[in-house]
Amino acid sequence: MKKKILPITILLSIFIINTPDAQVRVNLNVNIGQRPAWGLPGNYAGDFYYFPEIDVYYNIPQRRFVYLDRGNWIYVNDLPRAYRGFDLYRGQKIVINDPNPFIRPNYYRERYGRQYMAYRPPVVIVDKRRGHDRDDDRWERRGHDRRRW
Tell me what pLDDT residue 128 has.
Answer: 45
- pTM score: 0.55
| Helices (runs of H) and strands (runs of E) counted in the chain | 3, 5
- Reported as a single tens digit per residue, the pLDDT across 27-65 is 544 445 577 888 887 777 788 888 888 888 999 889 999
Nearest to 76 by CA among 62, 58, 63, 64: 64
Q: How far apart are the first and last CA of the chain?
A: 116
Confidence of residue 19 (pLDDT cuts 50, 70, 90): low
